[in-house]
Amino acid sequence: MGRQRKFTPWLAGITALVALAILLFPVYAVIVGSFENNAQLLGTHYNFFPPTPTLANYRNVISTQGSHILSSLIIGVATAILTLAIALPAAHALARYRFRVTVAVVASLLVAQILPSIVIANSLFVVYHKLHLLNSYPGLILADASYAVPFSILVLRAFMLGLPNDVLQAARVDGATEWGTFVRVVLPMSRSAIITVALFAFLNGWGDFIFALTLLNGSTLQPITLSIYNYIGVFSQNLGAAMALAVFAILPAAMMLIAAQRYIAAGLTVGSVKG
C-alpha cells in the first residue's frame, strides 16, 4: 500500500502530462507555424521547430489585418456590453421578484439556449436585408449577443439568488428605489458573476463565425474569423500569415486563462457557455 501511494501520483502526473501534450499540441503547432515561411509550412515534411524563425508573418498581419483585428475587438467588447445591459436587469428581476411568468421566462431562456445559430442567421439575413442592417456593426453585434444572452441571464440569476436578502431589505427600508437597490447594492455584490459573463460574451463576439459569414459580405466590415476563412480559400498562397492571424485570434482566450482563470472555470462549471 505504501509503495503504491508513492507511485500513483507520479503515474497520474505523467499520464496527465501526456494527455495535455496531445490536447495542447494544435496550439503549439499554430504558434510554431506562425514563425515559418510558406515553403516550410507547405514543404515535404512537418517541422516541430521553426527551421529559420521569421517575424515576416506578423509584420504582414499587422500591416494588412490591423483594421480587422480592431473590428473583432469592437465586436467582442460591444457584444459583452450589450449582453450585460440586457441580462443584468432581467436576472435581477427574475431572482428578486415573484412574477407569475417567472417559470415560463426561465424555461423559454433554456429553450433559447438550444436554438441553433444557423436557424437564426438564415432568418436574420432576410430580415436584415429589409432593415438595412446587413454589413453593419449594430446588426452583427445584435446577432452575436444571441450566443450569450440566455446563458448570461441564467448564470447571473443563479448567482443573485444567493445574495443575502437582509442587505437588500435594508436598502429598501432606507428608502432606496428598485433601480437604486439594483445599481448600488446588487451590481457591486455580483461583481464576480458579471466578470464571468462579460468574458464569455466577449469570447462569443470575438470568435463568432456563423453570423459574420452570413450577415456580412466581407467588403466593408471583416472580423478576423472571416479573414482566416478567406485565407483558407487561397490556402497555399499565404498560409504563414494565416497562422500569425490565428495566433492573434487565440490571444484573448490565452490572456483570460492567465489573468482571469477562476472566472473562466466558474463559467464552464455552470454549464453551456458557447453557442
The residues in 57-76 that bind other proteins, with binding defined as CB under 8 A, are: none
Q: Does 93 bind other proteins (CB under 8 A)?
A: yes
Q: Which of 94, 97, 117, 96 is nearest to 106 (CA)?
A: 94
Closer to other proteins by Cβ: residue 96 or 137: 96
Query: 151-173: buried (b, 16+ CB within 10 Å) or exposed (e) per residue?
Result: bbbbbbbebbeebeeeebeebee
Q: Which position among 73, 74, 112, 195 is part of the footprint of other proteins (CB under 8 A)? A: 112
The residues, ordered by sequence, that sit 6+ positions from 220 with a Cβ below 8 Å of its Cβ are: 135
Please give the residues from 31 up to 50 whose contact with other proteins meets the rule CB under 8 A.
Answer: 33, 40-48
Write the Ramachandran bin of 215: left for phi over 0, alpha for psi from -120 to 50, otherwise beta. alpha
Q: Give the binding range for other proteins (CB under 8 A) out of 51-59, 63-71, 158-166.
A: 158-166
Q: Give the binding range for other proteins (CB under 8 A) out of 51-59, 63-71, 252-260.
A: 252-260
Q: Does 175 bind other proteins (CB under 8 A)?
A: no
Helix (H) or strand (E) holding 138: helix 137-161
CA distance 90 to 82: 13
Q: Give the binding range for other proteins (CB under 8 A) out of 50-58, 61-69, 93-101.
A: 93-101
Q: Does 137 bind other proteins (CB under 8 A)?
A: no
Q: Which position among 78, 201, 243, 244 is part of the footprint of other proteins (CB under 8 A)? A: 243
Minimum distance of other proteins from residue 220's CB (angstroms): 18
Minimum distance of other proteins from residue 90's CB (angstroms): 4
Q: Which position among 90, 171, 195, 260 is part of the footprint of other proteins (CB under 8 A)? A: 90
Helix (H, G, I), strand (E, B) or coil at 87: helix
Q: Does 119 bind other proteins (CB under 8 A)?
A: yes
Helix and strand numbers (H, E) in the chain are 14, 0
Residue 255 amino acid letter: M
Q: Which of 121, 61, 74, 80 is nearest to 223 (CA)?
A: 74
Count Cα neighbours of 154 within 13 Å in the Cβ-side half-sphere: 20
Q: Are 212 and 68 in contact (CB under 8 A)?
A: no
Q: Does 195 bind other proteins (CB under 8 A)?
A: no
Q: Tell me the three cell numbers of residue 169.
A: 431589505
Write the Ramachandran bin of 271: left for phi over 0, alpha for psi from -120 to 50, otherwise beta. left
Please give the residues from 2 up to 21 whose contact with other proteins meets the rule CB under 8 A.
Answer: 8-10, 12-13, 15-17, 19-20
Q: Which position among 55, 118, 170, 259 is part of the footprint of other proteins (CB under 8 A)? A: 118
Q: Does 186 bind other proteins (CB under 8 A)?
A: no
Please give the residues from 199 up to 228 whose contact with other proteins meets the rule CB under 8 A.
Answer: 203, 206-210, 213-214, 225, 228
Minimum distance of other proteins from residue 55's CB (angstroms): 19
Q: Which position among 51, 70, 108, 184 is part of the footprint of other proteins (CB under 8 A)? A: 108
